[in-house]
Structure 1
Amino acid sequence: MAFSISAACKVAGVGRTKIYEAIASGDLRARKNGAKNLILREELQRWLESLPTEKAIAELMAAKAPPIAGAAG
């Protein structure tokens, strides 16, 4: 099964720009059928599973945050 860009956006809960950025970067592979881009269901799932988890993002943000003045440490 394959999704159009619009259908992939709806299924994945992301916007068109994010899908096109992922395709352009090579993170998400799209197939061409004439002028139409198609994304295989398995490829969309693989891409979604490769995105960072909420916990990983929080840890990254905490590591980059400057120390709070006056905090014990």
Structure 2
Amino acid sequence: MKVSYSIEEAAEATGYSTDTIRRALRNNDMTARYANSKPVILSTELSGWLEALPTEAPKR
């Protein structure tokens, strides 16, 4: 199991786009750590974000 992910790896691991991952970071729904200037997302942070997603689809 990976301990951390780049934005691209997080997108691939979750099936979401890099734009969605970046939006979650920008909206403070998820927090990145920084190794030098490169953002890294801890696996626990990514799991927490996924677990916090709604359990029902939005009504149209």
Aligned to 1:20: 22
Runs (4+) of structure 1 exceeding 4 A deviation are none
Determine the C-alpha separation between the residues in 2 that align with 1:21 and 1:13.
15
Give the superposition deviation at 1:11: 0.6
Aligned to 2:52: 50
Unaligned runs of 5+ in 2: none
Determine the C-alpha separation between the residues in 2 that align with 1:18 and 1:43.
15
Structure 1 length normalisation: TM-score? 0.73
Residues 12-69 of structure 1, C-alpha deviations (whole Å, 9 max, x = no match): 110011001000110011001112110000000000111112xx22xx51xxx6xxxx
| Helix, strand or coil at the partner of 2:54 | coil
Determine the C-alpha separation between the residues in 1 that align with 2:10 and 2:16.
8
Kindly, what percent of the aligned residue pairs are identical? 34
Q: Write the letter of the residue equivalent to 2:44.
A: E
| Helix, strand or coil at the partner of 2:31 | coil
| Superposition RMSD in Å | 1.2
Aligned to 1:5: 7
Structure 2 length normalisation: TM-score? 0.87
Determine the C-alpha separation between the residues in 1 that align with 2:44 and 2:15.
16
